């Protein structure tokens, strides 16, 4: 089984799909940035054991000039650790439709990555998953930000307290997943303006959060009453339980 890709992969200049799913390849050589025809880069293997709720989640280290792959539409899981330059490089991938970002925790430091403004301006992005990949307390989606986004996942953002969605931002969002953001106080401010959202899935969120959106009793129920389905997923007696709240 191939454990690493050779630099000579740069010779496959017309390659369009590189599927590394299930392989032990944990990083990509710099030569990959010369495959300018590459459209799909599927990579789900490098062990990401710091994720408490997704122990099988994996990411991959990519070269710093990944922004050269301007035809790339799918980038499975990128491992980023305080590498602001890499985030800016990802912001150059204007054809990107699916992106996953993972940041490893370091002892005592928690999440280290600010994903910044670059990703909000990706014009084609449809799916974005962030795992431990934001170190602030109150991010804001700017007006006109994430204009094509349909699915957003926010996972294990341990310092996150509030989220603000500016009017006009993420207008086409259809599904929002929030996982184990343990200090998040309530649903995003502005979620009431997202008229296309049909699914809100809450994974392992504390009961104090859930109470804020309880039907007819929660102070922020009015923000989510237009959403078709709200699902809470939690552990009970060692089993995963799924409960429909709305």
Q: Determine the 3-state secondary structure of 59 from DSSP.
A: strand
Instruction: Report the C-alpha gap between 197 and 59 in whole angstroms.
Output: 28
> Cα–Cα distances in Å, from 108 out to 104, 139, 145, 242?
12, 22, 32, 32
The three-point CA angle 43-48-53 to 5° equals 110
Tell me: the pLDDT tens digits for 32-61? 999 999 999 987 543 444 455 554 556 788
The CATH T-level fold of domain 15-244 is 3.80.10
pLDDT band, residue 137 (cuts 50/70/90): low
Residue % of the chain over a pLDDT of 70: 85
pTM across the whole model = 0.87
Domain ranges of the chain: 15-244
pLDDT band, residue 88 (cuts 50/70/90): confident
């Amino acid at each position: 089984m191939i454990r690493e890709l050779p630099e000579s992969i740069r010779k496959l200049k017309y390659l369009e799909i590189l599927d590394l799913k299930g392989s032990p390849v944990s990083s990509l050589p710099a030569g990959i940035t010369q495959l300018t025809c590459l459209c799909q880069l599927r990579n789900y293997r490098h062990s990401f054991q710091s994720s408490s709720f997704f122990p099988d989640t994996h990411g991959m280290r990519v070269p710093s000039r990944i922004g050269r792959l301007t035809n790339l539409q799918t980038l499975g899981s990128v491992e980023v650790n305080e590498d602001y330059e890499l985030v800016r490089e990802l912001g150059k991938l204007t054809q990107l439709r699916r992106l996953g970002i993972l940041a490893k925790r370091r002892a005592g430091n928690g999440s280290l990555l600010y994903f910044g403004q670059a990703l909000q301006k990706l014009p084609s992005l449809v799916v974005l998953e962030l795992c431990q990949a934001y170190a602030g307390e109150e991010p804001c989606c700017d007006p006109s930000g994430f204009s094509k986004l349909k699915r957003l996942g926010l996972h294990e953002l341990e310092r996150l307290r509030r989220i603000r969605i500016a009017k006009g931002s993420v207008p086409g969002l259809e599904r929002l997943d929030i996982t184990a953001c343990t200090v998040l106080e309530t649903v995003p401010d502005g979620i009431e303006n997202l008229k296309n959202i049909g699914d809100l899935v809450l994974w392992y969120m504390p009961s104090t959060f859930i109470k804020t959106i309880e039907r007819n009793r929660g102070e922020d129920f009015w923000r989510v009453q237009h959403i078709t389905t709200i699902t809470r997923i939690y552990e009970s007696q060692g089993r995963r339980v799924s409960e429909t709240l709305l």
